[in-house]
Amino acid sequence: MTVESTAARKPRRSAGTKSTAGKTTTARKTTSTDPELVQLLTPEGKRVKNAEYDKYVAGITPDELRGLYRDMVLTRRFDAEATSLQRQGELGLWASLLGQEAAQIGSGRATREDDYVFPTYREHGVAWCRGVDPTNLLGMFRGVNNGGWDPNSNNFQLYTIVIGSQTLHATGYAMGIAKDGADSAVIAYFGDGASSQGDVAESFTFSAVYNAPVVFFCQNNQWAISEPTEKQTRVPLYQRAQGYGFPGVRVDGNDVLACLAVTKWALERARAGEGPTLVEAYTYRMGAHTTSDDPTKYRADEEREAWEAKDPILRVRRYLEASNHADEGFFAELETESEALGKRVREAVRAMPDPDHFAIFENVYADGHALVDEERAQFAAYQASFADVEGA
């Protein structure tokens, strides 16, 4: 080590992390409950006042509250059914949203019909809010297609598997909205792991530079497969926004009211021409990353138990009961509806037909391609050769 490099390191040490112990503290801060966390409903189901965000949910009716609860219950039921179907061999893979229902329903219900949503592959709750039939979400996991719905029917883009890519598509789309002079907004979903991707950083840059009407909704579910948030960042994620010149807010991601309020605020900012916002929904992935991994290998049971106490659905039920906004009849009826949804999903998956063999060659190009035509013809001849054998 040269004298210069030693000298260069000293000021940094005194300015920041002084020792190993100091580093640990800094890292832990990203996972502890932050004083700046926006919360409107406590885990005990108590409504708490918030001067800044209360107005975005002030007019909410008991009927709408029950609606949010219903959305979360049905989304969880759908997710549980899909997980079971994977275990039964009906789906090749499933990415469960268990634990993230409030973040998705709260933000999803904040969107307007003309807004456009760019999801990852876990936004089953947002898809529900956008009116995408949940059975359509299962095609790619069953292996019958790579999409499954028309993105323009519900302004809900196809799931994106490459981590963070969709944040740039969202930004470009938002730039287009601004060019059109429309007052819609875009919301881009991604996770804490995606925050390390270059595309997410580039989308922050582009959206800030062009003042694009986009809301970046990061569901920090604490784990990127087996890697904790500490392996992605040394500062709380919402603080990243500051460096790009737009606001970042951390919201309790298990609080559907807070997620609704903060996302509404951010979308309204976007529509008013005030540019992008980063919302970090601080939540927890209760299950595995996908059905392929095993969380018991990388995280402690106590951690999950601590988060179970903050369950996003339970706290709304407590609030509904305590405020007499819902009776036993409502919960019983929802239970019946929930079972019916499970049955519908189960039957739909089992009835899903395999795609036509020639689908391989469909829509590779919009304007056609000579090689695809040639290979389709070869494939047809090959297939036909079996028919000859069978016919003989």
Which residues between 325 and 364 bind another protein (CB under 8 A)? 362-364
Residue with tokens 């601004």: 178
Find the part of the chain contacting another protein (CB under 8 A) among 128-136, 204-212, 232-240, 308-316: 204-212
- The packing angle between helices 165-180 and 198-209, to 10°, is 10
CA angle 102, 106, 109 (to 5 degrees): 140
Contact 238, 250 (CB under 8 A): yes
How many amino acids of this chain bind another protein (CB under 8 A)?
41
Distances (CA, A) of 368 to 267, 375, 380: 39, 12, 17
123 binds another protein, rule: CB under 8 A: no
| Phi, psi angle pair for 282, to nearest 5° | -85, 105
Q: Tell me: does residue 174 bind another protein (CB under 8 A).
A: yes
Q: Sketch the per residue contact string, 85 through 114, with another protein: x for CB under 8 A, - otherwise.
A: ------------------------------
Q: Give me the phi and psi of 186, to 5 degrees please.
A: -125, 145
CB of 376 to another protein, least distance (A): 12
Tell me the closest approach of the beta carbon of residue 295 to another protein, in angstroms. 27
In whole angstroms, the minimum distance from the beta carbon of 134 to another protein comes to 18
168 sits near another protein (criterion: CB under 8 A): yes
The reply to whether 367 sits near another protein by the rule CB under 8 A is yes
Query: Do 269 and 77 meet the contact criterion of CB atoms below 8 Å apart?
Result: no
Q: Quick one: tokens of 251?
A: 């919201």
381 in contact with another protein (CB under 8 A): no
- Structural contact between residues 141 and 93, judged by C-beta atoms closer than 8 angstroms: yes
Among 18, 87, 179, 350, binds another protein (CB under 8 A): 179
Cα 282 to Cα 316: distance, rounded to the nearest angstrom: 17
Is the CB of 16 or the CB of 355 nearer to another protein? 355
Minimum CB distance to another protein, residue 273 (Å) = 14
Q: Looking up tokens 């079971």, which residue turns up?
A: 84
- Residues pairing with 156 in the sheet: 117
Given the rule CB under 8 A, which of 14-22, 201-209, 267-275, 336-344 is the region that contacts another protein? Answer: 201-209
SS3 readout for 121-158? CCCHHHHHHCCCCHHHHHHHHHCCCCCCCCHHHHCECC
Least distance CB 56 / another protein (angstroms): 27
From candidates 75, 171, 220, 283, binder to another protein by CB under 8 A? 171
Per-residue binding letters, 141-160, with another protein (x by CB under 8 A)? ----xxx--xxx----xx-x
| Least distance to another protein, CB of residue 111, Å | 16
Q: Rule CB under 8 A: is residue 209 a binding residue for another protein?
A: yes
Question: Measured from the CB atom, is 166 or 254 closer to another protein?
Answer: 166
Which positions ≥6 away from 338 have C-beta within 8 Å?
A: 73, 74, 77
Question: Phi/psi at 38 (nearest 5 deg)?
Answer: -80, 125
* Min CB(211)–another protein separation in Å: 12
- Residue 78 CB, nearest approach to another protein (Å): 22
Asked if 213 contacts 176 with a C-beta cutoff of 8 angstroms, the reply is no
Distances (CA, A) of 90 to 82, 84, 347: 9, 9, 11
Stretch that binds another protein, among 1-9, 43-51, 162-170, 285-293 (CB under 8 A): 162-170
The residue count of the chain comes to 392
CB nearer to another protein: give 92 or 147.
147
Which region, judged by CB under 8 A, interacts with another protein, from 33-41, 165-173, 271-279, 309-317?
A: 165-173
Q: Which residues are catalytic?
A: 285, 289, 298
Nearer to another protein, 1 or 381 (CB): 381
Distance of CA 330 to the CA centre of its chain: 28
187 closest CA partner among 272, 254, 112, 133: 112
Question: Footprint of another protein on this chain (CB under 8 A)?
Answer: 145-147, 150-152, 157-158, 160, 162, 165, 167-177, 179-180, 198-199, 202-203, 205-206, 209, 362-367, 369-372
